[in-house]
């Protein structure tokens, strides 16, 4: 009965649907036509008559911004809403059909979504801050090592697990730090927890590789959802890699890669390219090929400080040359090697129309820090809230920043009017750190 009424209402509302969460007691669908399905499934007027006067102001705001905040909702409507969750219409959901569909499916039709039909969502969780290295380019600000108690860490893990089922999504999680292998005990317990969850289908670890030994790789083999251990390599030999990551780190990381590979676990390389190692890209690809790893990701550095911008940032014309060399190498290797060179990030489409990809930030991914702080992405380090306080469900639907990121019309005109937009959109984190505006065009774009 309930579901039937909800379905009919969904059709009746046809396109202008809003969801209001009333504290913890439940919520209601409503439209600008003022009617609401209350918790007894009755259609009732929601607003006091004076709401009509404010309606224009309210709808103008929504049209301009594509979202409305809790406080503004309270202010304009004088109603006691605890959280306001975005509206659903092509008009208001500009550039965000993915979320549009989610809300229609889950909230209007109240469907039980089958696991196989769920869309993937990615969490990068820096579950500890502690690290054994001090890399020159690292975005980590402090090394004060005040990691959370285990019960709090598991509170975060459970929140991630639960929110996936509430969102009707299925999760991919990368566990990282700091250096995750510093806390092998906790890492294993977390893998064990997620490995058993029906809400998770893929697990990965991001590591510097220096603390990996035979015992730990053998123990990790029992987690069948653990598909990939990504080891950071920032130069093709000890001279170049150790310049970035510290003396002795190259040989340890290479040994780590070999141990993972020998165990049969999936292993890949992450090469973060910047001004000091930009000449090493092809050599690192060759190294990855010789080691027989499955894939290599080449990621641009996000310069987090003025010093990084001066010392490590690569200018667009130079980046263009490097990307062209990598592309040539990729084509060459495709003839005879299994190595995947991952090129699904912004700007790659400038090298070849078939490559690149729009960044998932704000759409299908979130980053969680060691203390529960939630970021859109580790490199776009603007806090959205905390898992342990606001919770992930509320942050995802109410963060103004996330709504801005979802609205492609708010991007700087260079990106907004660019034919490459669907496959690019630029890196929002690099735009933020170099230009001070996360909606600015990508400063490394050579178009």
Ligand X SMILES: C[S@@+](CC[C@H](N)C(=O)[O-])C[C@H]1O[C@@H](n2cnc3c(N)ncnc32)[C@H](O)[C@@H]1O
Residues that bind ligand SF4 in the complex, under the rule CB under 6 A:
131, 133-135, 138, 140, 177-179, 208, 346, 350, 414-415, 418, 420-421, 424-426, 441-442, 445, 447
Which part of the chain contacts ligand X (CB under 6 A), choosing from 61-69, 173-181, 188-196, 365-373?
A: 173-181
The nearer residue to ligand X, 67 or 250, going by C-beta atoms, is 250
Binds 404: which of ligand X, ligand SF4, none (CB < 5-8 Å by kind): none
The nearer residue to ligand SF4, 134 or 315, going by C-beta atoms, is 134
Return the residue of 88, 100, 208, 407 that touches ligand X, per CB under 6 A.
208
Return the residue of 128, 164, 191, 304 that touches ligand X, per CB under 6 A.
304
Site for ligand X contains 377 (CB under 6 A): no
Return the residue of 66, 171, 177, 256 that touches ligand X, per CB under 6 A.
177
Residue nearest to ligand X (CB): 232
Q: What sign does the CA torsion over 291, 293, 295, 296 have?
A: negative
Q: Least separation, in Å, of the C-beta of 9 and ligand X? A: 46
The nearer residue to ligand X, 87 or 129, going by C-beta atoms, is 129
Neighbours of 342 (CB within 10 A): 16
Return the residue of 137, 169, 330, 370 that touches ligand X, per CB under 6 A.
137
The nearer residue to ligand SF4, 78 or 145, going by C-beta atoms, is 145
Q: Least separation, in Å, of the C-beta of 331 and ligand SF4? A: 21
Q: Least separation, in Å, of the C-beta of 15 and ligand X? A: 40
Q: x/- site string to ligand X, residues 251 to 290, per CB under 6 A? A: -------------------x-x------------------
Binds 447: which of ligand SF4, ligand X, none (CB < 5-8 Å by kind): ligand SF4
Site for ligand X contains 206 (CB under 6 A): yes
Angle between helix axes 281-291 and 249-263 (nearest 10 degrees) is 40
Q: Least separation, in Å, of the C-beta of 187 and ligand X? A: 12
Binds 420: which of ligand X, ligand SF4, none (CB < 5-8 Å by kind): ligand SF4
Q: Least separation, in Å, of the C-beta of 356 and ligand SF4? A: 8
Site for ligand X contains 444 (CB under 6 A): no
The secondary structure of the chain, three-state, reads CHHHHHHHHHHHHCCCEEEEEECCCEEEEECCCCEEECCCCCEEECCCCCHHHHHHHHHHHHHHHCCCCHHHHHHHHCCCCCEEEEEECCCCCCCCHHHHHHHHHHHHCCCCCCHHHCEEEEEEEECCCCCCCCCCCCCCCCCCCCCCCHHHHHHHHHHHHHHHHHHCEEEEEEEECCCHHHHHHHHHHHHHHHHCCCCEEEEEEEECCCCCCHHHHHHHCCCCCEEEEEEECCCCCHHHHHHHHCCCHHHHHHHHHHHHHHHCCCEEEEEEECCCCHHHHHHHHHHHHHHCCCEEEEEECCCCCHHHHHHHCCCHHHHHHHHHHHHHHHHHHHCCCCCEEECCCCCHHHCCCCCCCCCCECCCEEEECCCCEEECCCCCCCCCEECCCCCHHHHHHHCHHHHHHHCHHHCCHHHHCCCCHHHCCCCHHHHHHHHCCCCCCCCCCCC
The nearer residue to ligand SF4, 41 or 353, going by C-beta atoms, is 353
Site for ligand X contains 319 (CB under 6 A): no
Binds 426: which of ligand SF4, ligand X, none (CB < 5-8 Å by kind): ligand SF4
Binds 425: which of ligand SF4, ligand X, none (CB < 5-8 Å by kind): ligand SF4
Name residues whose C-beta falls within 8 Å of residue 141's C-beta, 6 or more positions apart in sequence: 304
* Chain positions contacting ligand X, by CB under 6 A: 131, 137-139, 176-177, 179, 206-208, 232, 270, 272, 299, 301-302, 304, 379
């Amino acid at each position: 009965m309930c579901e039937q009424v909800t379905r009919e209402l969904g059709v009746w509302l046809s396109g202008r649907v809003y969801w209001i969460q009333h504290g913890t007691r439940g919520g209601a669908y409503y439209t600008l036509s003022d009617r609401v399905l209350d918790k007894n499934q009755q259609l009732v007027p929601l607003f006091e008559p004076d709401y009509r006067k404010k309606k224009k102001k309210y709808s103008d705001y929504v049209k301009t911004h594509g979202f409305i905040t809790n406080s503004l909702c309270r202010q304009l409507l004088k109603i006691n809403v605890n959280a306001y969750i975005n509206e659903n219409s092509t008009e208001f959901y500009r550039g965000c059909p993915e979320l549009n569909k989610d809300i229609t499916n889950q909230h209007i039709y109240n469907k039980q979504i089958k696991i196989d039909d769920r869309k993937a969502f990615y969490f990068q969780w820096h579950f500890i801050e502690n690290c054994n290295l001090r890399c020159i380019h690292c975005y980590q600000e402090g090394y004060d090592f005040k990691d959370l108690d285990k019960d709090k860490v598991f509170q975060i893990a459970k929140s991630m697990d639960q929110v996936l089922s509430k969102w009707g999504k299925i999760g991919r999680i990368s566990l990282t730090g700091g250096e995750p292998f510093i806390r092998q005990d906790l890492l294993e317990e977390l893998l064990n927890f997620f490995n058993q969850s029906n809400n998770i289908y893929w697990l990965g670890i991001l590591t510097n590789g220096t603390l990996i030994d035979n015992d730990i790789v053998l123990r990790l083999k029992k987690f069948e959802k653990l598909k990939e251990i990504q080891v950071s390599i920032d130069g093709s030999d000890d001279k170049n890699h150790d310049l970035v990551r510290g003396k002795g780190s190259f040989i340890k990381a290479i040994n780590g890669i070999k141990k993972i590979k020998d165990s049969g676990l999936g292993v890949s390389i992450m090469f973060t390219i910047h001004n000091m190692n930009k000449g090493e890209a092809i050599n690192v690809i060759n190294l990855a090929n010789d080691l027989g790893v499955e894939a290599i990701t080449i990621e641009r550095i996000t310069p987090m400080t003025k010093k990084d911008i001066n010392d490590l940032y690569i200018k667009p014309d130079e980046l263009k040359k490097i990307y062209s060399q990598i592309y040539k190498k990729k084509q060459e290797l495709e003839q005879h090697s299994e190595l995947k060179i991952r090129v699904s990030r912004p700007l790659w489409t400038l090298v070849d129309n078939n490559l690149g990809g729009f960044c998932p930030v704000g759409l299908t991914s979130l980053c969680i820090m060691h203390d529960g702080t939630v970021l859109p992405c580790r490199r776009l380090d603007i806090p959205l809230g905390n898992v342990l306080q606001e919770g992930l469900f509320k942050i995802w639907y109410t963060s103004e920043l996330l709504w801005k990121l979802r609205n492609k019309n708010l991007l700087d005109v260079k990106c907004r009017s660019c034919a490459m937009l669907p496959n690019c959109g630029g890196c929002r984190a690099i735009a933020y750190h170099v230009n001070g505006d996360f909606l600015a065009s990508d400063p490394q774009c050579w178009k």
